[in-house]
Each structure stands twice: as C-alpha cells, then as structure tokens.
Amino acid sequence: MFTDFFIKRPVFSSVCSLIVILVGVVGYGRLPVKEYPAIDPPVVSVTTTYLGANPSTVETEVTEILEAQINGVEGIKTMTSESRESVSSITVQFNLDRDIDVAAQDVSSRVSQAVGRLPDEAETPVVRKQSGDASPIMWFSLYTEDGSISNLELSDYADRFLVDALETVPGVSNIIIGGERRYAMRLWIDPQKLAARNVTILDVENALRDENLELPSGRIEGESAEYPIRTLGRLQDPAEYEELVIRTTSEGIPIRFKDIGRAEIGAEDERSFVRFKGKPAVGLGIVKLSTANILDVAAAVKAKMEQLKPSFPAGLKYELPVDDSEFVRLAIDEVWSSLYLAVFLVILVIFFFLRDWRATIVPAVTIPVSLVGAFAVMYILDYSVNTLTLFALTLATGLVVDDAIVVLENIVRYIEENEMKPFRAAMGAMAEVVFAVIATTAVLVAVFVPVGFATGASGRLFTEFALTLAGSVVISTFVALTLAPAIAARILRRNGQMQGRAFRLIERFLEGWQNLYASSLRRLMSLKGLVVIGFFLSFALVGILFAQIPKEFLPIEDRARIITFIRAPQGVTIDYTDKVARQVEEIYSQMPDVRAYFSVGAFGRGAPGQVDQGITFVRLNHWDDRTQPEQSQQAIVGQLFGKFSQITDALVLPINPSSLPGSGFGQPIQFVLQGSDLEQLARVSGEFARRANELPQVVNIDTDLKLTKPELTLKVDRLAASNLGVSVRDISRTLQILLGSQEITSFNRGNRRYEVVVQAEKEFRSTPDSIREIYVKTRDNQLVPLSNLVSIETTTTPPQINHYNRFRAATIEGSPASGVSLGDALT
C-alpha cells in the first residue's frame, strides 16, 4: 500500500505538508483582497459628445450609426444606449467568457470605421472598458470651510498637483475627478454688437481657426548648425483674444473681438454644481488595479494624502465621504473571526470525544495544512481573498478533519483490539480505509465542483467558493493519507485517554447518548412504514417552507451609505435643481446619524448629465455609533421617505446601495419595454408604472420615458433662405455656437491645454425671442434676422431616448416595499 511509504518516512511526509503550507503562505501574500469575487460581465462603453444637439438629433446622427457598426462584434449579449442633449452613450455587454481587452479592441475598430459618417461637429467617440473593479473604492472631498476656493480652482489644483501624485501609489489604476470644472477661454458674444458691425458668428469662428494656431515652421540649416523655427501663433490671455481682428471694413478699419464681445478665463461648463456639506468641492475617486489589495491600496492612499496635506493651499481641507475599504475590512475581519472560532470549536469537539491529547493532534494538524494549502489553490486559479472564499474555508474547517478522524479511529481500533504497537497498527489500519477515504473525498468534490461550472452571475459568484472548498478537502485527504498516519504511528499510546473524574463524567454522558440512540433505532426499525411516511412528509415540509422563505439575490446590508436621487421637473434650469439639492442637504445636516454628504448636479459618468437631475452621496456614522434599530441604514432610509415627501419641487428618492460592486445606481426592480413609436411607448410605460404603484409590494415605480420636456422647434423657410443665399448649415451652425456653445480651438496655460469656448451672453439666450435677434449673412454680405427665415413652435420631447438591443425602449424601475423581499415583489 502506498501509504506505507509515508508511514515509514515521517520526514518526507512532513516536508510534503510543509511545502503545501509554504506555497499557500506565498500565494496568500499575492492574492488580492475584495469583498466579493469578480462577477461583472465584460462591458465596453462608447461615449460621443455632440454639443448643442437635442436627443432626437443625437439618436439619428450619432447613436444609430454607431450601433449599426458595433452590432456585428462577436459575443455581444446586450447593447443599450442613451441619446440625450449633447451626448450619445452606448453600453455593450458581452458574454461572460469574452475577454474584455479583445472585446474593447473589436469595438474600437468598428467605431473607427464609423467616425467618417458622424457629423463634423461631433467629437471623436471615446471607447472605455468597464468593470466592477473600475469603480472607485473611495472618494476624497476637497473643500474650504469659507468657500474661498471655487470649484474651478479646486478642480485645477487637483488636476495639477494631486492626480499625478496619487497615481504613483502602488495598486492605484487611475484617479477620477468628480464634479470637475476645467478652465476654458470663454468668449462671450453680444449678438446686437455683431449685427451693428455687420459681423456674423461664423466670421468669428473663421478668425479663431485662422489666427489661433501653431504649426510646424521647419528649420534653418547652415553649414555647421541648424535652427528649428517656432512660430508663436497661439493666443494666451484674455487681452490677446480681445485684440483679435475678426475682419476689416472696406475703409480699412479693423473690427476686433472686444468690439463685439468680451473674453475671460472661466469654466468650460457652468451647468453643474458640486458641494460637500454645503460647501463648494470636488471629489477624487480612487480606482484600484483589479489585482490589487483594496485594504493595502486604501491605507497607502490615505497615507499619501496625509503626506500631501502640508502643501495644500491655505484653508484647503479634505474628508473621506466614501470608503468601501472600511466595510470590506470589517466584513473580512468578521469572517476571519468566524474561521478562528470554527477551528477552536472543531479541535475542542475532537478532544471532547477522543479525550486524548495525543490523538487530538492527528486530525488537528490537518486543519492548518488544508486551510493554508487552500490559498495555494486560490492563487493558482487566480482567485481573491473575499468573504465567500473565507466562508468556504470556515465551512471546510469541519470537513477537512473527517478523513483524518476516520484514519485515526481505525488506527486506535487496531491498537486496542489487536494489542498492536502504533506503527504496525497504522500500516494495517490504512490498508483498510485508504479507498474509503478517497471515495468520501470524491463524493464531496462531486458535490462542489459542478457549482464551479455554473453559468451567469450566480455561477460566477459561487465558483470561487465551491472550488476553494473542494481544493481544501482534496488537500485534507492528501494529509490524512500521508502525514496523519505517520504522526499517529509515533505519538499514539495504548490507554492514552485521560483519566479521572472528568473522564468518567464524559464517558457516562456519551454512553447515555449511545444507549438512547440504540434504543430509538430499534423502535424505529419496527415501524418501517411510519419511517417512510415521515421521510416523505419531511421532504414535503421542506418544499413548503422553502416556498415561504423570502427570496432575493443578495440581502440589503448596512453599508453606512445612502444614495439620494433628485429628479426635478423636466425643462428646469440647473439653478432650480440646485435649490432642491440645498433642501436635501438641509435635511441631512439636521440628522445626527449622518456623518457627511456630497451633492452633484447634472451628474454624469464620463459625460455631461441632465441639468434637471442630481444625486447626493451620504455617509452615515460608524456602526459602533449606531447601535439602535432606528439608527440602521434601512431604518434611516425609511425615515427619509417621510422627510423628503415635504419637498414638493421635485421627486427626491433615497435608496440603499447595492451590495455588489459595479452594479450601478439603479433601483432593484427594472423592466424594459421596447417599441418604435415614442408616444405609444411613453403611454404604455406610464400606464404600466401607474398600475404597478397600486400594488402594496412595490414603491416608487416610475418610467424614464416622459414626453414632457419643452422644446423649441425651428422650421426653416427654405425658399426664402435660398433666395437670399443662406444655407441651412449656416443657420444651424450659427445657433449651435451662440446658443449651445462650441469649442472652436484651444490655448495653453501652465503646460496644460484648454478649450476656447464661444457662446452668446446669457441675457441673449434666456427667452425664445432671443432667436429672432440673431442674424445670418446673405450672399450679398447683408445681414438678415432669423425671424425672416424660421418659424418657432413649442413642443415636448423626452429628455433622453433609450435603446435596448437597437430598439427604442423605456425602462420602468422601482423598489420593494419595506419588509418585502425582491423575489416577492417581482412575483
């Protein structure tokens, strides 16, 4: 028998186990630490900015073209898109087995082929890979108590001095500036002055493109030296832009930019706001590498911020309103505590029944070898240390000793019944049980391994759990067949059980239970029919109880975080949304269990958001400071529904964030309706939401498709325009620049490149009548007001047009009512 080889060579057996431990220790040091395994599918996003375009134009001119081109990429599971004002956002989700790097490369190649068919004014599409690991693990808020540093200055300081420094921290992938406001050269136009000087906005655009550029100018090559030439053609400060000559009159008088407008350095986009505890702020989101340890990265970043703090400008402070590492650390520590307790209890139970410390050593030694060796399995399979893999090790603690106990019991039986020496007993006993031990392990592996091949999100979630558990059991079998008999052969003694009063009490206790079990078994053997009936009744009872248990993918956890959505009436300005956000902040400021809150207006991920929407991230006090039931996260959310109902200017919705990383900010319940006609789709989805809200199991059911946003529709009199020599393009481009703002060219400031943005002064774009005061030039170089060429109608339109697998779609979402599980709400 091969086990004799290990019994005769205890040193070799010990070395084998030490190698397993060594590999496990090395592997553990290299394993990333996460809360959950990576279960998110490969996702690639394509974002295109088309400034000034309404949702319908973005849909037809950008989104549909890109969708058609991307559609042929291999392995696409779903493709969704949002076409909103100025932005097209396409999200492509691939099958779980698709490599995200290859998928992103395929999408990028397809998008490149479609760029030539996009409008000239649209920016180049940006292709990004997305995953749960690409979400920030923590957010820092930069702010001043007195508001002496503006959002613009905070953003610039973070971009120049903090981002590069934090990206050098080991394990950090990149830094996201939340609520970033970039500097820009803002050229504000007075349309009345334009008309008075017979200048159009297109003249301004052409002058900027021709006069504000820097091209390679070659070199002077002499006999012994050469001199590269640089022509300083870029304008640098507002004064230079105001002196820019737009054109010259027939009398030779130059018309400068200062004659028709003004220049200043300001924010590239003013239609947003960011505040921390009511003060102007910006956020720094820390994204870690997928292979990095979240706890180590968080600690290193915090240390780096403390190191940078002395160099901050006067009054600048930072706080940490979002820190996922804190919850992960507590969760991991809790599981580690459970694991330690499980190991202690297992050893205690073994000692209680064996009552021999020598015999207890044999199965007990398999625990550290098997559990530490499981880390080697995890490292080889590219897993992570997370709550589920640690839970697998906790569960395995009771399983890994089973084989060793079987081996031990048989060796002890040989010693006592045959009065053999431990060495001879070990060799004889192992010949009897070796195949039984292998068979029991094969059964356990057969139970858990198939779970590792399950598909979908649930399969991915439990793959690491199942294979880690199976790996530890296999290692325990190896130890039970090699090290355990080698140790037993040398440390066991005949009559090695402890003696004394305690021994006799335990012995009587166990004998009593043994006699009770034997007598009960004899009675049941005489009632075979009743036993069979009881079995089927128990089986049926299990099914009945299972049907009654609430069902959901993951329970809601108290993560000390709340996300609050603000949805103002469609068509309102950013100032209106700002007013509502301040009311929300006022409520949070009066709640003692709230530690910090961070508000963002026109929130968008990677692109400008809608000005009628906002979001507030809330961090609650530490769990140790919230010990009462009414202080739990779920209870506080319930209280907020009542408080926010008093805000009548907008819909304010607090939600518990999802436990899964990368799951977004959506509500738990979501349905998608598809159709081609927007009006019919809006009507059906609205009726669906109305009826769903009548159900007591759900709350806050709403649809994202509402044709209620006011829109001005301009109809061009093509005959009149043609007679005057005015093209539709000239009309559209004039409106696009003056009313929508356009990035015409760029300038350099402090080794950074910023945009030059042209737009009409606010008072000339505040009412629909402002359009009538805009002029375009005819073929005779005469100015004609747009009121002579266009008619204006007021209509309604959706704030965004969504697609699901290329069809127009409406998403209906909501939440389960308090005390109702997600499974019960869906049924």
- Please tell me the predicted confidence (pLDDT) of residue 344: 86
Distances (CA, A) of 483 to 7, 338, 404: 8, 27, 9
- Of the given ranges (1-5, 224-228, 269-273), which has the lowest mean pLDDT? 1-5
Give dist(CA 64, CA 109) in Å, integer.
17
For the segment 422-479, what is each residue's pLDDT rounded down to a tens digit?
888 888 888 888 888 899 899 988 988 888 777 777 777 788 899 999 999 999 999 9
Give dist(CA 518, CA 428) in Å, integer.
30
- Please tell me the predicted confidence (pLDDT) of residue 825: 74
CB within 8 A of 760, min separation 6: which ones? 188, 189, 190, 191, 738, 739, 770
Predicted confidence band at 258 (pLDDT cuts at 50, 70, 90)? very high
pLDDT for residue 257 is more than 90? yes
Average pLDDT over all residues of the chain:
86
pTM: 0.78
- Please tell me the predicted confidence (pLDDT) of residue 90: 93
List the domains of the chain with CATH numbers.
Answer: 2-26+328-495 (1.20.1640.10), 41-130 (3.30.70.1430), 557-666 (3.30.70.1430)
pLDDT for residue 658 is more than 80? no
- Please tell me the predicted confidence (pLDDT) of residue 664: 57
Give dist(CA 354, CA 360) in Å, integer.
7
Mean pLDDT of 218-247: 87
- Please tell me the predicted confidence (pLDDT) of residue 232: 81
pLDDT for residue 338 is more than 70? yes
Predicted confidence band at 519 (pLDDT cuts at 50, 70, 90)? confident
Q: Which residues face 187 on adjacent strands?
A: 263, 758
For the segment 743-752, what is each residue's pLDDT rounded down to a tens digit?
889 998 877 8
pLDDT for residue 604 is more than 80? no
For the segment 344-399, what is each residue's pLDDT rounded down to a tens digit?
888 888 877 777 778 788 888 888 898 899 999 999 988 888 888 888 888 888 88
Give yes or no for a contact between 377 and 445, defined as CB atoms under 8 angstroms apart.
Answer: no
Report phi then psi at 123, rounded to 5.
-75, 165
Cβ-based burial of 91 (10 A; exposed 0-12, middle 13-18, buried ≥19): middle
- Of the given ranges (96-100, 120-124, 472-476), which has the lowest mean pLDDT? 96-100
Question: Dmax over Cα atoms in the chain, in whole Å?
Answer: 126
- Please tell me the predicted confidence (pLDDT) of residue 332: 83
Structure tokens at 546: 């299972």
pLDDT for residue 55 is more than 70? yes
Q: Residue 541: what residue type?
A: L
Predicted confidence band at 692 (pLDDT cuts at 50, 70, 90)? confident
